[in-house]
Amino acid sequence: MRTEERGELAYIRWIRSRLAGGDRRVTIGPGDDMAEVLVPLLDKGQDRARVLIGTDTILDGVHFDLGRDRLEDVGWKAVAVNLSDVAAMAGEPLAAVGAVALPRSFGMAEAQRLFEGMSRCAEVYDTAWVGGDVTAWEHPLAVTVTVLAQAEHPVRRSGARPGQWIGVTGALGGSLLGKHLTFSPRVREARRLAEAVSLGAMMDLSDGLSSDVRHIGEESGCGAIIEGARIPIAEAARELAARDGRGPLDHALNDGEDFELLFTVDEADAERLAGLDVGVPVTVIGRTVESSRGILMVDEEGREQPLQRGGYEHWR
Amino acid sequence: MRTEERGELAYIRWIRSRLAGGDRRVTIGPGDDMAEVLVPLLDKGQDRARVLIGTDTILDGVHFDLGRDRLEDVGWKAVAVNLSDVAAMAGEPLAAVGAVALPRSFGMAEAQRLFEGMSRCAEVYDTAWVGGDVTAWEHPLAVTVTVLAQAEHPVRRSGARPGQWIGVTGALGGSLLGKHLTFSPRVREARRLAEAVSLGAMMDLSDGLSSDVRHIGEESGCGAIIEGARIPIAEAARELAARDGRGPLDHALNDGEDFELLFTVDEADAERLAGLDVGVPVTVIGRTVESSRGILMVDEEGREQPLQRGGYEHWR
């Protein structure tokens, strides 16, 4: 059991309780994949543009390992984790800034390789690189990227309702074998999804399905039943399972850093979903239920069991 | 002498050369205190809002020292250094996000004290706190804040022309004795300045006057003559000087983290500047000249000498 009085989830809950009053300029506050802020149109009276903002840090020894990983891939990941949040809102990226804390031992070539990765990812996803901050210290590399984006209809974590279908893109688990570094954020796929069906809630899978389905449940005020047999299991999850003796399903549920999309759609759209080509496989893995039922999984014998949360929490 | 092939300034120059092509959505790119991005007004044809974005990291052992400093003050500084960039553009803050890498040893109380400082600074400067990212690792605290702002007429570093007067707010040097942590970013003061006079260039003093005047010179393509006798020297600079044997002027020129404003105005406005109350003392310290003359200082004997750059570079 986790001590909920500590840990990042408890901290974020406390921060949200401190900000409960809201702010006239904020249309989406803390707790979603990105926040949304109103930007006045200067000299144009009451008109406002809406801009999404999200920020993520990746740390040596936690999110990557410079003893093994290429700096170009680390730079790619620093931007891609943020673009994965843009995807989660069904948004379109606009611009990015980066703040890097370099180990003092870095030479210029290493700093450049890091930036090459960041700028390549920004370029592939049509995101303008607009600046940042460079510092150095005697400790490991820390990279923070902040992304601006826009969505005509941002898809929230709170938009699920009981009786919807739950879907995921791609296949889950085993990302530690490489995908966690060099993944493709599902920006285009999310927008195609949002255009084709009526999405309830959406988020990106970063903590692991067993944790993230709970986030949607908590934000939306509903429960969920996941059918274990339907979860698409990545080849890498089977590979890891063969090594460590944990089951492939365990990996698919709990590894985290899949950076695929988890979403809900109305039942009426479920059929359309089946025939949809968004550029990556889409799988229905369960449905939302009343919140009183909690977060459940149907096991191989057809029994409903509470789904244990096994995802990763950095600080607990 | 500094090796210019390494170091953060060389790195930033290299990054800017890589981005020289520009982007249709970017009105102010890397190299200024903040960047400016166009945000389309959804469903409103060609209209665009303009939003300023800036990001800064502060690190334990570099920008603060948890062996000595209060976590509330560290949180304040993390936001205030960003608001100082908003001031530098004569902007108005809109919203902020934070990304914290906590030492795993932190308890909830420590994490909360950090946030109390961040949210207090945001509140005092009417900045909506809209979210962030929490991670933890086995290394010291790193805090990155990103701020969104707006300015009707953003004041650039590149706006100086030969023949202008150079001014600063406040008094310089010795910020290590405390001001570097608990300073008041000059947001309101900058806007009053921008309303009262026609500003050429402006930036905030973070690296130290001797470095920062050079940044304005480089961006604007002009030189500068600083009159040493006119530089307002902080009491803390005299205090430090009495301890370490360096002169007070040396501290005022080179200590960095003053977080005051450095700006240029047309000569016609210099008189108006003298009588102006922007809430903090404003002092004319020199004038801009043709770039061929370089960055000079008039010493106590009235001789013009090249001004040595002594400011702080984190990575060199």
**Closest residue in chain B to residue A58, using alpha carbons only:** B135
| Whole-angstrom distance, CA of residue A139 vs CA of residue B90 | 35
User: 3-state DSSP call for residue A16?
Assistant: helix
Query: Which stretches within chain B are classed as H helix?
Result: 8-18, 71-88, 108-124, 179-182, 187-196, 209-220, 235-244, 248-254, 267-274
**Which of A10-14, A162-166, A303-307, B179-183 has the weakest average pLDDT?**
A10-14
Q: How far is the CA of A114 from the CAs of A73, A141, B78, B162, in angstroms? A: 8, 10, 24, 38
**Residue A159 DSSP label:** G
**Closest residue in chain B to residue A40, using alpha carbons only:** B49
Q: Which residue type, as a one-letter code, is found at position A211?
A: S
Which tokens is B18 given?
A: 């890589």
Compute φ and ψ for B140, nearest 5 degrees: -65, 165
Domain B157-306 grouped into CATH 3.30.70.2740: no
Ranges of beta strands (E only) in A64-198 are: 92-103, 128-137, 142-150, 165-169
Give the pLDDT score at B2.
34
Query: How do the domains of chain B map onto residue ranges?
Result: 8-150, 157-306
| Whole-angstrom distance, CA of residue B1 vs CA of residue B224 | 21
Q: pLDDT tens, A208-241?
A: 999 999 999 999 999 999 999 999 999 999 999 9
Give the pLDDT score at B6.
60
Q: pLDDT tens, B71-90?
A: 999 999 999 999 999 999 99
CB contact under 8 Å between B51 and A148, yes or no, is: yes
Compute φ and ψ for A92, nearest 5 degrees: -120, 125
Most confident of A32-36, A244-248, B84-88: B84-88
**Which of A23-27, A140-144, B163-167 has the weakest average pLDDT?**
A23-27
Among 3.40.109.10, 3.90.1150.10, 3.30.1330.10, 3.40.50.720, name the CATH number for the domain at A50-150: 3.30.1330.10
Ranges of beta strands (E only) in A176-260 are: 199-204, 223-227
Please enumerate in sequence order all residues whose Cβ is within 8 A of that of B302, keeping only pairs 6 or more positions apart, or say none: none
pLDDT of A184 > 60? The answer is: yes
| Whole-angstrom distance, CA of residue A159 vs CA of residue A203 | 11
- Nearest by CB to residue B53, choosing from A44, A130, A144, is A130
Place of tokens 């902040």: A146
CB contact under 8 Å between A32 and B139, yes or no, is: no
Query: Hey, what's the torsion of the CAs at A37, A43, A45, A47, to 10 degrees?
Result: -40
Is residue B61 within 8 angstroms of chain A, CB to CB? Answer: yes
List chain A residues with CB under 8 Å of B32.
131
Give the pLDDT score at B316.
60
Q: For residue A224, give how far its alpha carbon lies from the nearest alpha carbon of chain B (Å).
A: 26
Give the burial class of B219: count Cβ atoms within 10 A of its Cβ; 0-12 exposed, 13-18 middle, 19 or more buried: middle
List chain B residues with CB under 8 Å of A105.
none
Query: CA nearest A53: which of A72, A27, A74?
Result: A27
Kindly report the average pLDDT of chain A as a whole number.
93
Other residues' Cβ atoms within 10 Å of the Cβ of residue B161: 13
Give the pLDDT score at B174.
96
**Closest residue in chain B to residue A140, using alpha carbons only:** B139
Which carries the bigger pLDDT value, residue A309 or residue A27?
Answer: A27
Is residue B66 within 8 angstroms of chain A, CB to CB? Answer: no
User: What pairing do the DSSP bridges indicate for beta strands A26-28 and A35-40?
Assistant: antiparallel
Which value, in Å, is the radius of gyration of the alpha carbons in chain B? 20
CB contact under 8 Å between A53 and B19, yes or no, is: no
Is residue A62 within 8 angstroms of chain B, CB to CB? Answer: yes
List chain A residues with CB under 8 Å of B86.
none
CB contact under 8 Å between A128 and B23, yes or no, is: yes
Helices (H) and strands (E) in chain A, counts: 9, 13
Which tokens is B303 given?
A: 């001789």
- Nearest by CB to residue A53, choosing from B19, B63, B97, is B97
Is residue B115 within 8 angstroms of chain A, CB to CB? Answer: yes
Give the pLDDT score at A43.
67
CB contact under 8 Å between A41 and B49, yes or no, is: yes
Q: Which residue type, as a one-letter code, is found at position A45?
A: G
**Residue A231 DSSP label:** S
| Whole-angstrom distance, CA of residue B146 vs CA of residue B295 | 32
Query: How many residue pairs from chains A and B have C-beta atoms closer than 8 A?
Result: 255
pTM for the complete prediction? 0.94
Compute φ and ψ for A223, nearest 5 degrees: -100, -175
pLDDT of A5 > 50? The answer is: no
CA end-to-end distance (rounded Å), chain A? 11
Is residue B153 within 8 angstroms of chain A, CB to CB? Answer: no
Q: Do domains B8-150 and B157-306 have the same CATH topology?
A: no
User: 3-state DSSP call for residue A280?
Assistant: coil
CB contact under 8 Å between A108 and B10, yes or no, is: yes
pLDDT of A4 > 80? The answer is: no
Give the pLDDT score at A307.
95
Give the pLDDT score at A202.
98
Q: Is the dihedral of CA A34, A40, A46, A47 positive or negative?
A: negative
pLDDT of A311 > 90? The answer is: no
CATH-assigned architecture of domain B8-150? 2-Layer Sandwich (3.30)
Chain B segment 4-23 residues within 8 A of A by beta carbon are: 5-6, 8, 10-12, 14-15, 18-19, 23
CA end-to-end distance (rounded Å), chain B? 11
CB contact under 8 Å between B314 and A112, yes or no, is: no
Query: Which stretches within B30-70 are classed as H helix?
Result: none
What is the distance, to the nearest Å, from the Cα of residue A268 to the centroid of all Cα atoms in its chain?
A: 26
Averaged over A98-103, what is the pLDDT?
97
| Whole-angstrom distance, CA of residue A141 vs CA of residue A163 | 45
**Closest residue in chain A to residue B55, using alpha carbons only:** A132
What tens-digit pLDDT sequence spans chain B (316 residues)?
233 346 888 898 899 998 887 888 999 999 899 999 999 887 666 678 899 999 999 999 999 999 999 999 999 999 999 999 999 999 999 999 999 999 999 999 999 999 999 999 999 999 999 999 999 999 999 999 999 999 999 999 999 999 999 999 999 999 999 999 999 999 999 999 999 999 999 999 999 999 999 999 999 999 999 999 999 999 999 999 999 999 999 999 999 999 999 999 999 998 888 888 899 999 999 999 999 999 999 988 899 999 988 755 566 6
Is residue A40 within 8 angstroms of chain B, CB to CB? Answer: yes
List own/partner pairs for A294-303 with CB under 8 A and 24 or more apart: A294/A223, A295/A213, A295/A214, A295/A217, A295/A223, A295/A224, A295/A226, A296/A223, A296/A224, A296/A225, A296/A226, A297/A225, A297/A226, A297/A227, A297/A228, A298/A225, A298/A226, A298/A227, A298/A228, A298/A229, A299/A228, A300/A228, A300/A229
